[in-house]
Chains A and B, each alone.
Chain A
Amino acid sequence: MLRFFISRLSTFFVTFVGVTLISFAFIRVIPGDPIIVMAGERGMSQERYEELTRQYGFDQPVLTQFWDYLTGVLQGDLGQSFVTKKPVWDEFFALFPATLELSLCAIILAIALGIPAGVIAAVNRGKFFDRALMSSALVGYSMPIFWWALLLIIVFSGNLGWTPVSGRMGLLYYFPTPTGFMLIDSLLSGQSGAFVSAVQHLILPTIVLATIPLAVIARQTRSAMLEVLSEDYIRTARAKGLKPWRINGLHALRNAMIPVITVIGLSVGTLLAGAILTETIFSWPGIGKWMVDSIFRRDYPVVQGGLLLVAVVVMIVNLIVDMLYGLINPRIRTRK
């Protein structure tokens, strides 16, 4: 197990350096001089332009800039936003809990509904439930998030008035947010109704963000279950007269979980990408909106720092998923 862990960790480190390089190069490859974009129609004098170029260090050779960036990153310094002049690190940690809270709720919802749905569909293969589920999964998978979100807002917030339109918390409530997780902070605040408001604000964005992973997990669970159900040992179990729920739930599902966990791990990347759109529509103060804005403003430190941090989060999740495999399936542990 230790050897396995070390080999994964070294892959992690190589990927980290690669991502640092890509995040640095990516924003510089997009055309658009950040200083000219900042000045807009108004323009600026040549002297002023040169002064700002010096101030931001763009007069240095690209390799020098990268070296400065890399050494900064290794010391935990991601630089300062050109726009707000605040450290990238601080901005990320002020906003990330909101994204994390939303993503966690979405992935929990997707797992809680997707796995049982996939199991039921597999057991009832070819019957009505299976077909209905698979067609809705296909619809869910191909649904444009933007359109789906607006539709839900118009129906549930606009016409029915059941949920608030957007935001994270009713404007009447005002309390400090030490953890950044609204569900926890609202409970800590002791204000009655704040927690309910936080939950209500979470409902629609969670549904929207969970839609694609839910569809993927349900489909993956179904096909993994079908595969396992056709294995010899399941037939043996049936022949032994085991109860169906024991066969499906205990023997089949556990073995079907391996590809499902892979998919869950992979969907973390999808979730963070989906969070960008979901956050924009629901005015959710997370990192998605922050990153999009910074690309348009050519705010180099935020783009490269933000990308790097998001990549690290995805890498850590994948590392955890790899570890989980090892626990569930000893074959993977011993292979190398």
Chain B
Amino acid sequence: MTLKRLMVSAGIAAMLAGSAAAQQTLVYCSEGSPEGFDPALFTSGTTFDASSHPVYNRLAEFKTGTTEVVPGLAESWEASEDGLEYTFHLRPGVKFHSNDNFTPSRDFNADDVIFSFERQRLEDHPFHSASGGSWEYFQSMSMPDLISSVEKVDDMTVKFVLSRPEAPFIANLAMDFASILSAEYADAMMEAGTPEMLNQAPVGTGPFSFVAYQKDAVIRYAKNPDYWADGLPKVDNLVFAITPDASVRYQKLQAGECHIMPYPNPADIQAMQDDEAVTVAQQEGLNVGYLAYNTTVAPFDNPKVRKALNMAIDKQAIIDVVFQGSGQIAKNPIPPTMWSYNDAVEDDAFDPEAAKEMLEAEGVSDLSMKIWAMPVQRPYNPNARRMAELMQADFGKIGVDVEIVSYEWGEYLERSRALDRDGAVLLGWTGDNGDPDNFLAVLLGCDGVEASNRAQWCNQPFEDLIQEAKTVTDPAERTRLYEEAQVVFKEQAPWATIAHSVVFMPMRPEVEGYKVHPLGGHIFTDVSLAE
């Protein structure tokens, strides 16, 4: 034991076991280095975990562990009758962090909100191209078209004017790219000739302030003592120990070198659940993996043919073999953690005999088709090639001959958009803002044909429902519309819905209050360490 003590002067183990030090430090074994610390410039979850969640706040926030939108830096907001104007009442007395080069002279106010959006929106804004970056997420959520203006009503009130009614707008404002930066810090850095510091030494209002980053090694944060939410955050220091290999993360967790880790190897999960030194939290991810038929090409333009094929797929076998248990059968195009998920929808029964008869009834015989298998791993599809092989066998049993094709990832994404594409495509989606619109309209709406709608499916009854749901702001009414849209989707079967991944989060038993976040972020504001 003495030898062990001596050798593991990595110290964390000693700290965990040792006397309750005055300072509590939570160590998170993160999976990679962030691309930077200005969340609006990037789109990857690894970057958001290191920037938007600890360092920043947004006007509205997702309640951790849910897709529900709650007040953040805005205490309240209201929409105009026509859904075109949103007025936000800002939270008073919120302080920005300070660092070696900057001490804020004022509290958070409307100027910061305007700065944070206008720098992304206006091409002539001094910070629009200051970082050499592009505002990918802001662009891909169509924010430049949607927002016509952002106006300061008074110091603590901001009004957004939209070009069209868009109910998911509030959820967009809770997204990472909508994080609020300090306009005063930006000006100070511009004056000092170092505008890139916004991306390298972030200053926000969040629960933790940024201390230091060493690329590929470690990121350090300290508790923000002036945080506006009382009693939060609960730990004094937050450390990200960057550890790219999943097996090594598990070893570090066991050795007590970190408290919590993301993305375990599926093969290790059973051992972790049996391990007394580790507890494993789990939840369905906000994603869906699907097989999209090309609904513009015969015989796949016939919903009954698509339905018959869906009935031939043994999804349980896919969950067991491809996901190794870390997945759940999908029956709807949206995951169960999302509001408006319609649990009353019945999945197509797995019944090869009936499927074969249905195909014969439709006069389809000697059918041969292509299945496209993605070349990359994704949470919603850890092994597309294997999945395609299982489907090939399933379809073979009902007399459908399958050829599996694949391309390099960029080619795959590009070619699968084509309207006359030959074959059904394996693909998936991970939600951005927790709004059903972000799945149903993006992936299945008429605007997405030849783009993100890989089924090339434009169905008028479905389209009417999702368009109406964009314009009404009453949540109950929106829920009803989306539930109905899921019924239409199931009848028409443009996709075979395959799986939602299950997210596992292994941690040490002393970690308390961690909630798996359906939007994929890893958030430590509410986490504490038991003595």
Contact = CB atoms under 8 A, between A and B. Distances in A.
Contacts of B325: none
A163 B15 contact: no
B150 to A, nearest CB: 21
A197 B36 contact: no
B215 A37 contact: no
Contact of A162 (B4, B131, B241): B4
A150 B247 contact: yes
Contacts of B410: 31-34, 36-37, 298
24 contacts: A30-B408, A32-B408, A37-B409, A39-B136, A40-B413, A42-B43, A43-B452, A44-B139, A84-B36, A85-B131, A94-B215, A150-B247, A153-B251, A162-B7, A164-B10, A166-B245, A168-B217, A170-B10, A172-B10, A172-B12, A193-B11, A197-B10, A282-B248, A285-B217
Given A85-B199, A285-B216, A197 B9 contact: yes
A158 B216 contact: no
A44 B136 CA distance: 9
B101 interface: no
B451 A43 contact: yes
A283 to B, nearest CB: 4
Contacts of B199: 85
Contact of B214 (A40, A193, A285): A285
A36 B199 CA distance: 24
A154 B251 contact: yes
Given A41-B427, A80-B132, A164-B257, 5 more contacts: A39-B140, A170-B12, A172-B11, A286-B216, A298-B410
Interface in A33-57: 33-34, 36-44, 48, 52, 55
B216 A289 contact: yes
Contacts of A174: 212, 220
Chain B binding surface SS class: mixed
* A interface residue count range (under 10 / 10 to 19 / 20 to 34 / 35 or more): 35 or more
B488 interface: no
B309 interface: no
B112 interface: no
B216 to A, nearest CB: 3
B248 A42 contact: no
Given A42-B452, A43-B451, A285-B215, A165 B248 contact: yes
Interface in A284-305: 284-286, 289-290, 293, 298
6 closest A-B pairs by CB: A285-B216, A172-B11, A32-B410, A285-B217, A164-B10, A161-B4
B98 to A, nearest CB: 19
Contact of A285 (B242, B245, B414): B242
Nearest to B242: A283
Contacts of B10: 164, 167, 170-172, 197, 200-201
Contacts, number: 161
Contacts of A84: 35-36
Contacts of A262: none
A223 interface: no
A169 B212 CA distance: 15
Interface string B8-43: 111111010000000001010000110110000101
A110 interface: no
B411 A32 contact: yes
B239 interface: yes
A161 B255 contact: yes
A154 B33 CA distance: 24
Nearest to A38: B136
Contacts of A44: 136, 139-140
A177 B218 CA distance: 13
Contacts of A196: 9
Interface in A241-280: 280
Interface string A90-114: 0100110000000000000000000
Interface of A: 30-34, 36-44, 48, 52, 55, 80, 83-85, 91, 94-95, 150, 153-154, 157-158, 160-174, 177, 193, 196-197, 200-201, 280-286, 289-290, 293, 298
**A33, A34, A80 — most chain B CB neighbours (10 Å):** A33
Contacts of B484: none
Contact of B411 (A31, A42, A282): A31
A40 B43 CA distance: 10
Given A31-B410, A41-B429, A197-B9, A289 B212 contact: no
Nearest to B414: A36
B244 to A, nearest CB: 6
B116 interface: no
A287 to B, nearest CB: 9
Contact of A158 (B218, B220, B244, B255): B255
Contacts of B413: 36, 39-41, 43
A144 B196 CA distance: 42
A163 B244 contact: no
B530 interface: no
Nearest to B142: A45
A169 B11 CA distance: 10
B42 to A, nearest CB: 8
Nearest to B13: A161
Contacts of B247: 150
Contact of B217 (A43, A167, A172, A197): A167
Nearest to A154: B251
A95 B248 CA distance: 21
A253 B325 CA distance: 60
Interface string B246-276: 0110011011010000000000000000000
A223 B43 CA distance: 55
Interface in B112-164: 131-134, 136, 139-140
A55 B25 CA distance: 43
Contacts of A157: 251, 255
A52 B220 CA distance: 33
A283 B245 contact: yes
B3 interface: yes
**A41, A172, A173 — most chain B CB neighbours (10 Å):** A41
B331 interface: no
A166 B27 CA distance: 14
A15 B212 CA distance: 40
B46 to A, nearest CB: 11
A42 B413 CA distance: 9
Contacts of B41: 85
Interface string B395-412: 000000000000111110
B474 to A, nearest CB: 29
Nearest to A34: B410
B255 A55 contact: no
Contacts of A80: 132
B243 interface: yes
A33 B414 contact: yes
A217 to B, nearest CB: 28
A161 B8 contact: yes
A175 B131 CA distance: 28
Given A32-B409, A95-B216, A153-B248, A42 B9 contact: no
